Amino acid sequence: MARSADCRSRSVITDRPVVEQQIGPETFEYRPGFLGRDHADGLLQYLWRGVVWHQDPIVMFGRRVLQPRLTAWFGDAGARYRYSGLDLEPDSWPRRLAELKDSLQRELEQSFNSVLVNAYRDGRDCMGWHADDEPELGPVPTIASLSLGATRRFLIRRGNGGPSTPMDLEHGSLLVMRGDAQSRYRHAVPRTARPVGLRINLTFRHVRQA
What pLDDT shows up at residue 3?
56
Helical ranges in 15-138 per DSSP H:
37-50, 95-108
Q: Give the model's pLDDT for residue 23.
A: 58
Task: Assign 11 a pLDDT band (cuts: 50, 70, 90).
Answer: very low
Question: Does 8 map to a domain?
Answer: no
Query: 118 labelled as ligand-binding?
Result: yes
pTM, full prediction: 0.88
Tell me if 119 sits within 8 A of 125, measured CB to CB. yes
Q: Residue 8: pLDDT band by 50, 70, 90 thresholds?
A: low
Q: What is the mean pLDDT of residues 133-158?
A: 94
Residue 114: CATH number of its domain: 2.60.120.590
Domain presence at residue 197: yes
Residue 1 has pLDDT above 60, yes or no: no
Domain annotation covers residue 1: no
In angstroms, rounded to a whole number, what is the distance separating the alpha carbons of residues 14 and 94?
22
Q: How many domains does the chain have?
A: 1
Contact (Cβ atoms closer than 8 angstroms) between residue 121 and residue 199: no
Check the annotation: does 54 bind a ligand: no
* Residue 187 annotated as binding site: yes
Instruction: Round the average pLDDT of the chain to a whole number and report it.
Output: 88
Residue 3 domain flag = no
Residue 6 resides in a domain = no
In a domain, 4, yes or no: no
Range of the domain at 96: 19-205
Quote the pLDDT of residue 20. Answer: 59
Domain-located, residue 11: no
34 is in an annotated binding site: no
In a domain, 9, yes or no: no
